Structure 1
């Protein structure tokens, strides 16, 4: 007896309603934050290349803080080590949500986006290593082209006014979440300074206290705000990049709701901090990290020195190759069927868009090349690669926007005005074309 063929899961199909609503809330704030981030990057470039360049450097390098606690930092370091911790705290919360109730909650659903994201990190790193190694350059920047900036990518989508379906946006968000996890692991493992074991032990103890407070259902910001700041300060003084504290705290916060609870601690914290992260923390970091020289000589160095050239190739070519090929092979291996309303060209467009590696790429660039002209060239490479990816992705996605608009409108039809799209109440039957398309795959 011939066994029945194994059923195929649908890749990039209609999201479950709760997942769609959660993704929509997250992306709405990220899109607004991305537009602010874009404006901050432009201001930084104009300011650093104007007659007021000296003032820019004075503000960026101005020190303040409490020296006795090891926290006398420059403005640039406060934005990178302090404000970005808020960004990574929100990223940790989003990762926890994905692991508990989102796309990463089951191995079957997580396999495809995780494989795609892993390939999207490994291939750019390999391209950088090959380029820098063959050119006799430093391998320290291998991790710079690994990360995708979801806020910047969404800002590009907002500027070009695409109607990208919810499933494609969710896939992009999941890629960015896994990217953030990879980035924080790289920062924690490869970019640590001299370790202070006592301070690190204190940070770990603080995380244990946070876990216990969550288990005991203790509420009140007056418990968590001082504890969070203490954990951050101890982590910074422990020699591990302080942003690791943000992710760790985000992963500890409870994501599931108790009976009668309107929102979990992770939801409440994310709701409060997401606007601060997207609208203040990340743009301020960009303001003091993206101010690099864009002279003809500096741009020439980007394409003649092996390190910045490796960053450009890693972000532009590596992301495309890694994410698209990784997704395609993973779909074939897992026998996942692509949504018949979409095409592999749509996945290719997202892979190009993922080459925008602004925020985390700049952070890792600063850690890999903390001083000297080479660090400035690497920053310029990140900006050039992100701009090139944004332009190319805009051209590709705009060509498909007519199809996206139809899918978007279909997903949002609500004839009875009850707040729930009709597609979740009266799912359309697959058409003959779709059945034939599926049988041919």
Structure 2
């Protein structure tokens, strides 16, 4: 009796492979906004540093200026409004991004999601371990362990815009997915570890508001004049409950429908995200940076970053921890999931993106404020270490990416090429028989044009000279 034929081995998954066309178009649109917002964020951070180090008294007085209804527990400083109010918009967009990734993006398929999730988790765990080791060995405070765990996608994209590196869409998608998972766990860290006391009446009120918000969405009720006032009430109740108010933004973002129904070009979540993302990237986050990044950068303060265990732990966590965690987690995940790297890319590209993820600006500043509440001097020094660590990560990743800039531009040009002018890049049409017919016709027209020009040139050269 013949032995049974063994089943053919399952094909290996391609890591950082080409995305579907709709996913690529969505990613391009989202990253374009984030890149512009990142440049504004960069300008805001520089403005904050200049303001704080030239007219420090006015910076402090404006940051501590209080306004808002005291009867509702919302008589807050300008800096407080920026951190708890405006960042709720940022986390709302993060919630929509996460929901979309879970139902229509990279995280939809558990097998495909394993790689970026493992990479992001390792990229948060290793910096926390690095910080803890440095502070334990240096007899410092371990309460800031979460500061170097965050990645700032907008700042990272601003760095790419400044150095002029055209990353292939697969690497940009990987960076965005890392940031989305990173934001999710940053939200959980804030909710679990930085909530001291809870007002259960206000918290129950916030949950009731969220239930009403969800019910209105399910009933297809439309109108910003319904949702914006309700969102403000939910935010106010969440703030007064003791849970960080940005959690309200995430919760509402996760409730939006991000799957497309028949006849829809965009889902409601994608449509609202498209409207709110510019507000988040171009206004909310830069204004938060303006009132959070203004730290004193005197020579003594910068030198102290490398002598205090807390600040040194933040710098090493961002620069070394993020790079080692993301790169190591990605490499291990590919080994255990039997995935193979896209043949057009190299592991050096993954290492460069991992180092780019060490830019932990926005959420790291927020967590630094929460971790050392009440200790203004430590908050100032930790902020300085976040800025310095992010700067080192930006320079390091910029150098690494520049080594491969020609390769990236070639890949990007190939992704954008639309020789048949159909409105769809050629790489997405190569399996379509009609595409090959169109290309053959185009090549024939070009050949005929070349022949006609050659004949005209030959006729001109054979024409006798006219008499003087």
Q: State yes or no: 1:82 paired with 2:68.
A: no
1:18 corresponds, among 18, 22, 30, to 22
Deviations 1:387-441 (Å, cap 9, x if unpaired)? 000000000001101111111111111012121100000059xxxxxxxxxxxxx
| Larger-gyration structure (1/2) | 2
Unaligned runs of at least 5 residues, structure 2: 433-468
Aligned to 2:398: 394
Question: Which deviates the most, 168-177 or 266-275?
Answer: 266-275
Residue among 275, 280, 286 paired with 1:277: 280
**Aligned mates of 2:88, 2:357 — CA distance in 1:** 22
Q: Confirm or deny that 1:359 pairs with 2:362.
A: yes
Cα deviation code 1:66-117 (max 9, x no counterpart): 0000000000000000000000000100111100100000101100000000
Deviations 1:96-148 (A, max 9, x none): 11001000001011000000000000000011111111111111100000010
The aligned counterpart of 1:225 is 228
Q: Which residue of 1 aligns with 2:198?
A: 195
Structure 2 residue aligned with 1:434: none
Q: CA deviation at 1:259?
A: 3.3
CA distance in structure 2 between the aligned counterparts of 1:258 and 1:382, rounded to whole angstroms: 43
Q: Deviations over 1:183-236 (max 9, x none)?
A: 000000011131000000011111111111111111111211111111100000
CA apart distance, 1:272: 1.4
CA distance in structure 2 between the partners assigned to 1:304 and 1:408 by the alignment: 43
Shift of 1:263: 3.1
Q: Supply the distance in 2 between the matched residues of 1:397 and 1:427 (Cα, whole angstroms).
A: 32
Aligned to 2:250: 247
2:95 counterpart residue number? 92
Q: Which residue of 2 aligns with 1:27?
A: 31
Deviation at 1:3, TM superposition (A): 4.1
Size of the alignment, in residue pairs? 427
State the 1:40 CA deviation: 0.4
Hey, what does 1:172 align to over in structure 2? 175
**Distance change in 2, residues 1:114/1:282 (3 Å):** same
CA distance in structure 2 between the partners assigned to 1:308 and 1:163 by the alignment = 33
Give the distance between the partners of 2:84 and 2:185, measured in 1 at CA.
18
The structure 2 residue matched to 1:335, chosen from 313, 323, 338, is 338
- Describe the superposition over 1:314-349 as per-residue Cα deviations: whole angstroms up to 9, x where unpaired: 000000110000000100110101000100000000
For 1:265 and 1:70, how far apart are their aligned partners in 2? 33
1:144 is aligned to 2:136: no
SS in 2 for 1:240: coil
Aligned: 1:407 with 2:437: no
Is 1:67–2:63 an aligned residue pair?
A: no
Q: 206-215 or 335-344, which moves further after superposition?
A: 206-215
With structure 2 as the length reference, what TM-score do the two structures score? 0.90
- CA–CA distance in structure 2, aligned partners of residues 110 and 74 of structure 1: 41
Deviates more, 1:73-82 or 1:208-217: 208-217
Distance 1:6 1:83, change over 3 A: same
Deviation at 1:2, TM superposition (A): 4.3
Out of 382, 388, 392, the position equivalent to 1:384 is: 388
Q: Secondary structure at the match of 1:41?
A: helix
Alignment of 1:262-273 (within 5 A): 262-273=265-276
**In the alignment, what sits opposite 1:435?**
none
* Structure 1 unaligned residues grouped into runs of 5+: 429-441
- Secondary structure of the equivalent of 2:227? helix
User: CA-atom RMSD, angstroms?
Assistant: 1.1
| Counterpart pick for 2:430 among 413, 426, 433 | 426
Cα gap change, 1:376 to 1:427, in 2 (>3 Å): farther
Q: 2:126 maps to which residue?
A: 123
2:19 counterpart SS class: coil
The aligned counterpart of 1:238 is 241
Deviations 1:287-340 (A, max 9, x none): 010000111111121111110110001000000110000000100110101000
Structure-1-length-normalised TM-score: 0.95
Moved more, 170-179 or 214-223: 214-223
Query: Given the alignment of the two structures, is residue 160 of structure 1 paired with residue 163 of structure 2, yes or no?
Result: yes
How far has the Cα of 1:242 moved from its partner?
A: 0.4
